[in-house]
Every structure is written in C-alpha cells, then in structure tokens.
A and B are shown apart, each in its own frame.
Chain A
Amino acid sequence: EVQLVESGGGLVKPGGSLRLSCAASGFSFNSYTMIWVRQAPGKGLEWVSSISTTSSYIYYADSLRGRFTVSRDNAKNSLYLQMNSLRAEDTGVYYCVRRLRVHMDVWGQGTTVTVSS
C-alpha cells in the first residue's frame, strides 16, 4: 500500500524551530518529486515547498522568506521540513505529498504545528 506518514508536529513558541518528517512506503520514493502543503485552521491549501528526486531542484513559496528548508534521504525513504523562526501564521496542518507529473496523487494524513506562546 502506498503510504505517507508525517511526524514531528507539536506546540512551539514564536521564534522556535521544528523539524517535520515524512516516511514513505509502498512505492519507489527516489522516483518522485515530493511536496509539502500546509493548511491554516479554517483556511485553504497552501503549497510550501517541493524537492526533486535527487534534490537538485528545490523550490519554496515566496511567503516563507528563507525560514524553511526541505530535504530528503532516499536511502531512508524520508522527506523532511526544517522550520525556523516560526510565527503564529505558520500554525496549521502540514501534509507530505507525492507529485505525479504536476499533480499531487498521494497525501499523508498530516501533522499539526501550533506556534503559540
């Protein structure tokens, strides 16, 4: 079964850091570009970052302003998102997503990040 399982979410104070992980299984992880998408409470979906199969191409949403870093370890079938200088507006559910061509065909269940003092 194709599966993506996120972890690492939690409560963090403004200005703090958090590292999200995504464990992939059931498919050839190293053959797919991977994506992070987030959703603030009661709001819509927002693309955060994408990383190509060999990490050669990495892109971020303009709104992040260099605070987030995406990475992957193909040997461990894992995707990561390092989030620094967190703000209240970063609060939400973060989804790990598999990209197929230019659409998103497999989504994890999400991990919740809460930035609050």
Chain B
Amino acid sequence: SYVLTQPPSVSVAPGQTATITCGGNNIGSSNVHWYQQKPGQAPVLVVYDDSDRPSGIPERFSGSNSGNTAALTISRVEAGDEADYYCQIWDLSSDHYVFGTGTKVTVL
C-alpha cells in the first residue's frame, strides 16, 4: 500500500516560516491535501489540490508538490498554528485514501 512519510515534529519561532514535508513515491502525480488538527478537535482542511486554500484559511498557508515530495508552508507563524498536520492523497490504483504519518508543529 502507498505510504506517505512526514517528519514527526517541526519547531518554529513566532514570525518565522515552518515547512512540513510529505514524502511518497511519485507524489507529484497526485493531488495532495493538508489538514490541521488541534488537540481535542476534529481536523480542518487547510490546503487542497496541492496549493489551493479553502475560504477562511489565511494566505500564510501555502502548498507545493513535485517529484517525490509535497510540502505545506506556514509563513509568519503564530501561536495559534500549533497543531498536528496531516497530508493526504487518494490512491487511484486502490481507490483508497491515504494519510501521512502526521507532523506536530510546535511554536517556540
């Protein structure tokens, strides 16, 4: 089955930029979506189709996808961005949905 690998944790100072990677075999050929999950809450979609943002999501959240790595970038990080982040793709070959292993973002 398809595997998406994320770093377990990323630490960033307020006002700086956080980049979360999502690695997978030829992931660049898939659309990648990103979810933010704060403690005790349901996940929230923050980026879809590699780089689009749902309404209400700040422009500080952006995405990219190429080759074997997709990335979520959070610019001008705020304390409220502290959360777990998950990437996700739809595996066409199996009609299964695959989530990444998750990354905990800590704001120092």
| A residues adjacent to B (C-beta < 8 A) | 35, 37, 44-47, 50, 57, 59, 61-62, 95, 100-105, 107-110
Contacts and interface: CB of A to CB of B under 8 A. Distances in A.
Given A103-B33, A104-B33, A45 B49 contact: no
Contact of A103 (B1, B48, B101): B48
B95 A59 contact: yes
Interface in B33-54: 33, 35, 37, 42-45, 48-49, 54
B96 A104 contact: no
Contact of A44 (B33, B42, B44, B99): B99
B96 A44 contact: no
Contact of B43 (A45, A59, A62): A45
Nearest to A106: B45
A7 to B, nearest CB: 15
Interface in B62-108: 84, 86, 88-90, 95-102
